Structure 1
Amino acid sequence: MASFLVEGGNKLNGSITPQGAKNEALQVICATLLTSGDVTIGNIPEISDVQKLIEILRGLGVQVINERKGTCRFNASSVDIDYLKSPGFAEQAASLRGSIMIIGPLLARFGKAVIPQPGGDKIGRRRVDTHFTGLQKLGAKFEFDAENQWFTVLAPQLKGAYMLLDEASVTGTANILMAAVLAEGKTTIFNAACEPYIQQLCKMLNSMGAKISGVGSNLLTIEGVATLSGCSHEILPDMIEVGSFIGLAAMTASEITIQNASLGHLGIIPDSFRRLGINVEQQGNNLVVKETENYEIETYIDGSIMTIADAPWPGLTPDLLSVLLVVATQAKGSVLIHQKMFESRLFFVDKLIDMGAQIILCDPHRATVIGLNRQHQLRATKMTSPDIRAGIALLIAAMSAKGVSTIDNIEQIDRGYDSIDKRLSKLGAHISRI
């Protein structure tokens, strides 16, 4: 198990480019299973979750050729479905939640799929009902072996259907969408997720010959086709990394330029930081976070405390609430952070309280932050990263703290952030990996 030693209190300066979007990468890589043609994907982030998924595809017989850094060519003309029954696949899939998105493509193309209960972050209850309910609407039948935690899904022929999803699940929408493109007839998905990740997946599938309309809305219509062909696709910059870098600059009172941030796909992320008083400027396709020693949280018109909450797109992504919470600890004023989706994601605040932050954990979903206005610098401490997003939030806190902090279990951070220690060190951060 690796750890970070972080010497806090150092200002950063310079430019940084966000990696390719992790969540999009997991979806579009799964989509390569839908065709026997070559699919070339660029701007793939070199992070452990993506590498695990690529290894799963290799095990299935998909040919993966690294053409250059960040670009791979996939060919799924010789898929071995029997690999799904192997102990190796069970171990790989159980450690990666994104592996559940191979079900839709395999079901559409081969009529069957088997997968263990998916793993991933331990951030609370993360049900997969939306995936299977949607696939059932298309004609699939599934069984769940509760004793061994295995799902088996069968569908000799998928048929289009109307469905109203019980929640706007991003991975659930992606899985159903990938199954529907090869289903017979018309499929209508209402209350579909419409995050940029889904928009990009639709763009890629349409370039492969799919017929998807309503892209960017919560009502998707798919006209099933017989086959799909190969294509080339470029992954967007990771909006979660962009938000993380904004938070990092704010907490360390640094000026950082985030290059090629794809501003049109960030939604309300920059404005959410501006509500905390952060000076974020747009310069072309770059974001510049200005050095700000003191920043003040907005209040509502009547003077009541601001609430920042996650919501389905175009609302605020839940993946950035941990970062926003950390940024608020050094602001002037108070804010209520409301994490609606996951009931364990705010439990990392006990580490921040140990560092001197003033936070009241109201319940598993809500935390009130009373900003210190930089009158008291956070203290260095020893902590453990519980998940990807809490991990980066704790790293940001450590970089603003006085003294040397230790962060254990940084494999969680590596799952979502490519070589984050080396990239931040180029900006002037003092981080050692041990």
Structure 2
Amino acid sequence: MTVEEHKVEADIATHNQNPYEIVQSLIKDSVDTLGLEESIYHILKKPMRVLEVAIPIRKDNGEIVNYTGYRSQHLDILGPTKGGIRFHPDVTLDEVKALSIWMSMKSAILELPLGGGKGGVIVNPKELNSRELEELSRSYIRKITPIIGPKKDIPAPDMNTTPEMMAWMIDEYDKLEGYNIPGLITGKPIIIGGSQGRLEATGRGVMITIREAANAIDLDLSRATAAIQGFGNVGSATAHFLHECGVKIVAITDASGGIYHKEGLNIKELLEFVVDGNVIADYSHCQPISNEEMFALPIDILVPAAIENQITAENAPTIQAKIVAEAANGPSTPEGNDILEEKGTFIIPDILCNAGGVTVSYFEWVQNTMNYYWKEEKVNKELEERMIAGFQRVFTMGREKGCGMRKAAYMVAIKQLVLALQARGWCQNGDLSKM
């Protein structure tokens, strides 16, 4: 095998690391550091329930395609499970399991009365027209109806799913139950019970954690530079909020390509450009740039807001950013994370950084339950308070234990879950002072 073939093989192995195995390893390490019994690890390491469903759909050309869907529910000791539904050709059962565990961790860090859930369908939504996509959405929710509900498991949008698709799903569920149940799904259109501020919530939360990290390392955001990987809902909202803070965003990449401008991109113009149906790579007045080149830029803030396993042992040594804010789920491999920590990079881990979405989903669920709806100012204020408190809990844990932010985040989450486990009698009352 040639050197080039070895490099390609290593790169494939790095980028295809199993997220379920990664999260289990992180939980085990944190449980050990907290001095907890191994039984705690065995409770937390896997979902309490996983459902796999077949979803046959008749396409407009007469062909019947049988899609596979999943729903994973990790743990419900704090409250009903909660998490998004993604439509993507690379969805796997292990990915959905890992994502449900991450959702539990996010809720625990932010002290939300929710557990972790996640769903997915193996499909490329670009290959379906609107009618076919609606049929798939409705059929999926019918298949998982036995295990979901506003007091059991509350779905939401995720990768390649939208408020419109959530509306189709809740309409289907309401037909089955015979009455309107707005608390079943969050991320809905506002007219049928959605919350003000939900669409931008994840990006706003990313900005808040970056601001708190910048304060922790004495970085002046008004003089800072940033680059963002991914320009979907989260990446674009993050760009908008960072730009409002005075951050100069010099590069953005997405599936279409990348753009770079040393003096800073015109974010307002770029957002309008994309809303009009254009792609990042077609935006003029910029230089093209690859992900590899962007990651290596001499910037202050790097925001991976795309998919898993992007920061690896191969590219982590080239990253010069002072702050890496994980707007995506699982963007760093363990090896990449270790290299960044050794370099002194301030990592805002995904289970803290992108928890703004589930936080405002929680607010939406609360509003649905009360049948009383908040103004956007109240939503944003409540989100800011929750995100700042969560950041401080993780930052303080990291200082107390002398560890990085990722491990600290897992320890904060696990401590919260263990307190609930002990209160319910699921495990013995040990010496909580160790935590």
- Structure having the higher helix fraction is 2
Which structure carries more relative contact order (alpha carbon 8 Å, separation 6+)? 1
Fold shared, TM-score > 0.5 on shorter chain:
no
Q: TM-score, normalised by structure 2?
A: 0.28
- Structure having the higher strand fraction is 1
Q: TM-score, normalised by structure 1?
A: 0.28
